[in-house]
Structure 1
Amino acid sequence: MFDAAVASASPFHVLAQFLPEKPKGRCVVVGAGKAAASMAAALEAAWPDVPLEGVVVTRDDHAMPTRSILVLEASHPVPDERSEQAARKILQAVQGLGADDLVIALISGGGSALLALPAEGITLGEKKQIARQLLHSGATIAEMNTVRRHLSAIKGGRLAQAAYPARVVSLIISDVPGDSPAVIASGPTVRDDTTALDALRIIHKYDLTLPPAAEALLKREADQSRTAPPPMAEGNSVTMIATPFFALGAAAEVARRAGVTPVILGDALEGESSAAGTLFAGIARSVKQHGQPVKAPAVLLSGGETTVTIRPGEKPGKGGRNTEFLLSCALSLAGEAGIWAVAGDSDGIDGTEDAAGAMIGPQTLERGAKLGMSVEDFLKRHDSYSYFKKLDDLVMTGPTLTNVNDIRLILVL
């Protein structure tokens, strides 16, 4: 089921059916995200007769061979100098275009860090400092990207504005709850409806410390009356070519064919990973013991993006939101017979570790105890990766070259 969910989001399976009419003029391809290189390669395969040019940026070790589209790599989740250089090259690629030209923007999750072009007056070092704080704050991806947009010279629709009067067709693989195109990669081709005041509220909500230049920029923008933004071409369009819900549907079909009833609990779930693990364990036990909300055999499917909050003074171990979810789930299930689960990030990387996620079953706690491991201790230290590594229960897919966020499946027999 997990493999089917990931495969359903492959650009080579879905991209071609969403391509627009071929342009009269130039066709410039730009893009950013963990799937940007595979999307570029899929586009070249679908349009072998169209002269394509342009540049995309993806995460380290996520590149693919392409014929004419330049593929760059940069750091994720914290940007580096290559992220800034890639953003500048992408802006340069859309300069001087005309109304008959077409820009195809290939956008996927991870683009926020990979397109790190600071707004005027802010340094990359200051943006990195803000990014680290946001990652540890417990902020949702929508909140993080609101702040990023207002400190950027390319996000929040600024890339599409730079391409005017050329038409921009954005093909997007969603990795965010709700599939908002303004949130995915911080919306470089989508007009931003949030304000600097929204960004400041998020900063204050999580008690973050902004560098003076960044705080001054947000306050200056908030104090200024709203003026008309630079124009975008009227024919611009945005299409979701793969989403978390589509992926869960693919997993559900595998379950049906195996005689297991699928229940999709949601594709946009958020909240603390450990709390979600406890909650989902309770639902699974209800299925097992009471046949509610569905009778076994059944599988509970969910997507979205939970969070792991690192509080001031904590020194976390190795872990990600999926492994922390599973460790909490296993603790709550307490060895309940007939229940197994897998949770992993569809891009193959859970947080910053080299695993997509992990698996649990009725023997997980017993096996850990035999190795002298306390689940409570590993959860407290946010060291879930290390726990599953010692059990050899990590799910190791390597980079999948797509990204529709987390996929969680709990099988009850």
Structure 2
Amino acid sequence: MLRQDLAAIVRAGFSAAAAGRLLERALAPGDALPDGALRVIAAGKASSSMAEAARGLLGSRIRGGLVVSPEPRSVPSPFEAIAGGHPMPTTGSEQAGRRALALAASLQADETLVVLLSGGASALMAVPAAGVALDDKRATTDRLLRAGADIHALNTVRKHLSAIKGGWLAASAPCACRAFAISDVVGDDLSVIASGPTVADSSTFSEAADVLRRFGEEAAYPGAVVARLAKGARGDVPETPKPGDPRLVRAASAVIGGRRDAMDGAAREAGTLGYHVVWIDDPVVGEARIAALLHLRGVVARADGVARPTCIVSSGETTVRVIGDGKGGRNQEFALALAAPLASLGGAAAAASAGTDGIDGPTDAAGAVVDQTTVERARAAGLSPDTFLDHNNAYAFYNNAYAFFAALGDLILTGPTDTNVGDLQIILLA
């Protein structure tokens, strides 16, 4: 019963954060855009849904546009589709980024550039800065991800290796620019979402260089990357557009949805199912296995005295530091770290952690479900949860005994959801 409820609650959370719905809500008042012709650039995991919603709402005002997504998609006229790469940029990403810059620069002064952003856009649109190759950016991104860098640190570096991020896209347009972003980052900082292609950037080359040093020796990174950041820190390379830059005076950006939309949908469904809901507003962050233990300890204390059954709703985005030979997957690792503590609670309990984009790291799962019997069942199948955590291989833990766990539905398999507002965590206490 708890597992069925978990599935329904997670689905409701995902549905509430549907990209098309969020854009329709933002554009419904009718005053969000200047009059006149529009050109649209949609980039991210939710780009197709956002472009379709924009076409339905704005109709013939849209004179052209670009949709950049992780996979080839059919898009409505007058959009052009390009597939980029994620989580690593590809040659398709560079093609998409250069096409976006060219489109922005081609607009007339009386037109408006509309930019629709969602999670993943940083990798999907990539234009390396002068002196930096795409492979240099890929190697740097991979190194930082494997070292456990969070999205803020990662994007500080990305912006200073790019000709499109950090405000450069909006700066290239000779007209008004309006950006609508679905946030996948904790704090909903527009300069971090998609690496802020339409907003001023307050981070610096010096801070980007500090990120490299914090997550490894400089020698571990491509020489061109280290050299560019050093030149920028000395003032030999122009900084990203800063607050007050005249090139951004006609640009405005807004967050139109985020993790709280998914939480709200999940909480409403839990209430419908008869649960007493505990809403955890503080984002869940940090290294997945540690964050899971701290989170469970804190939320169980918060739920003490709340009538049962209880549903604890939270969200955020953790990281995984890959130290073994596994695939990682922060949500699966988060869930696996909860397995033993859930068993020690002494009653019926279940938990799910899932990426709202339907993708958890380099796997085909969104996340996983555990309950108070997971450890016992795993050991009966000859699996040791501790071993799989030590090798960041939560995914293998759920799939090595596929026939055993498939019947229990321990992996959350949704496929791409066309949205991305971070991760959703649900804990049920009966």
Q: Under TM normalisation by the shorter chain, which class is it?
A: over 0.9
> Cα distance, 1:335 vs. partner?
5.5
1:220 aligned to 215, 228, 231, which one?
A: 231
Partner in structure 2 of residue 9 of structure 1: 17
Aligned residue number for residue 49 of structure 1: 60
Return the TM-score normalized by structure 1: 0.93
1:176 aligns with 2:185: yes
1:251 aligned onto 2:262: no
State the match for 2:207 in structure 1.
198
Contact 1:304 1:405 in 2 (8 A): yes
- 2:288 match: 273
Could you tell me which of 363, 382, 401 is aligned with 1:372? Answer: 382
Alignment length, in residue pairs? 405
Aligned counterpart, 2:297? 282
Matched, 1:71 2:81: yes
User: Residues 228 and 347 from structure 1, CA distance in 2 versus in 1: closer, same or farther, beyond 3 angstroms?
Assistant: closer
Unaligned 5+ runs, structure 2: 1-8
Match of 1:132 among 139, 142, 145: 142
Distance of 1:119 and 1:293 partners within structure 2: 56
CA–CA separation in structure 2 for the residues paired with 1:147 and 1:228: 12
Aligned counterpart, 2:5: none
Name the residue aligned to 1:396. Answer: 413
Gaps of 5+ in 1: none
Say if 2:284 and 2:295, in contact at 8 Å, map to a contact too. no
Q: CA deviation at 1:49?
A: 3.3
- The residue type equivalent to 2:129 in the other structure is A
Distance 1:162 1:334, change over 3 A: same
CA distance in 2 between partners of 1:294 and 1:52 (Å): 55
Q: Does structure 2 retain, via aligned residues, the 8 Å contact 1:41–1:65?
A: yes
Q: Deviations over 1:293-351 (max 9, x none)?
A: 6343211111111011124xx32x23300000010000222364211111100000001
SS of 2:211's partner is helix
Distance in 1 (CA, whole Å) between partners of 2:12 and 2:313 is 13
Q: Indicate conservation of the 8 Å contact 1:18/1:239, yes or no.
A: no
Matched residues in 1 for 2:386 and 2:372: separation? Answer: 17
Q: Tell me if the contact between 2:67 and 2:75 (Cα under 8 Å) persists in the aligned partners.
A: no
1:333 maps to a residue whose letter is: L
1:33 maps onto 2:44 in alignment: yes
Q: Using the TM superposition, give the Cα deviation of residue 17 of structure 1 relative to its aligned residue in structure 2, in angstroms.
A: 3.1
CA 374–46 in structure 1, closer or farther in 2 if over 3 Å, else same: same
SS of structure 2 residue aligned to 1:138:
coil
Matches within 5 A, 1:135-154: 135-154=145-164
Superposed CA RMSD? 1.9
Give the counterpart letter for 2:209 in structure 1: L
**2:304 aligned residue:** 292
CA contact (8 A) 1:134 1:144 kept: yes
Alpha carbons of structure 1 residues 267 and 33: separation in structure 2 relative to 1, 3 Å = farther
* Counterparts of residues 71-90 of structure 1 (less than 5 Å): 71-90=81-100
Corresponding position of 2:373: 363
Identity of aligned residues (%): 37
Q: Distance in 2 between matches of 1:171 and 1:181?
A: 10
Alpha-carbon deviations, 1:340-386, whole Å to 9, x = none? 11110000000121111111112211111111001111111111112
Q: Check conservation: 2:343, 2:373, Cα contact below 8 A.
A: no
How many Å separate the matches in 2 of 1:248 and 1:21?
Answer: 26
Is 1:323 aligned to residue 340 of structure 2? no
Q: Give the superposition deviation at 1:22.
A: 5.5
Q: Residue type matched to 1:252 in 2? A: A
Q: Contact (CA 8 Å) 1:41, 1:64: kept in 2 or not?
A: no
In 2, distance between residues paired with 1:228 and 1:362?
50
State the TM-score, normalized to the length of structure 2: 0.89
